[in-house]
Amino acid sequence: MTAFVIAAALYAFSMSITPGPTNIIMMTTGVNHGFRNTLPFATGAATGFTVLVFVVALGFGSMLSENKQVMEMMGYAGAVMISYMGYKIAFSEGNMKTEETERPSFMQGAILQWVNPKSWIACIAGVGAFNLSESLERLLYYIVPYMIVGYACVLAWGYAGSKISGFLKSDNNLKYFNYVMGGSLVIVALYLAFMDK
């Protein structure tokens, strides 16, 4: 079972460290609000993804993934949510006054995993490749390392954001950074909604 846990951890690392909506939001939150304020969103994202894996492994995911219309609607809902968060980031105040600007919440992190196509791909591929529907024990041996490694990867993006905030002390620089990161999220959302079909 050790090899299985190592494989799960490596899979979690490769899926969680790569750029995506969750990590872009984490980095931007780290820049604008500091590392400590990334924790609710990161915890929500880890929790939401863990619940998603359980649901998919127990069979509900295969029912959803076989229904093309439901998956398409979820894709559009995800694109809308990602676009909204991108808009909020792009047009947030270009200053470091954390108490005055909105921070992504636990609930937003959890919901994002359910409407984010990258999360569904990672989840369905993992459940299939690791044969997680076979037993609850197997599922737990997968979930625990995935949650630990995935959570650490997401937090790394928030930490990186908090460290580069020193370079963005100028309100104008921070404003441009927010435009770029928010715009990136909107581009990702448009790609997911219209191009990745």
**47-105: pLDDT as tens digits:** 999 999 998 888 776 666 666 777 677 667 777 877 887 787 777 765 544 444 578 89
pLDDT digits (tens, 9 = 90+) for 29-45: 998 888 999 999 999 99
Quote the pLDDT of residue 139: 92
Average pLDDT over residues 168-174: 71
Look at residue 187 in the predicted model and tell me its pLDDT: 84
Any idea of the CA torsion for 179, 184, 190, 192, to the nearest 10 degrees? -150
Separation of alpha carbons 134 and 95, rounded Å:
51
Asked if residue 32 lies in contact with residue 101, where contact means CB atoms within 8 angstroms, the answer is: yes
Residues 98-111: tens digit of each pLDDT: 444 578 899 999 99
Q: List Cβ neighbours of 42 (8 Å cut-off, separation of 6 or more).
A: 26, 109, 151, 154, 155, 158
- Judge contact between 108 and 41, C-beta under 8 A: yes
Average of per-residue pLDDT across 122-133: 85
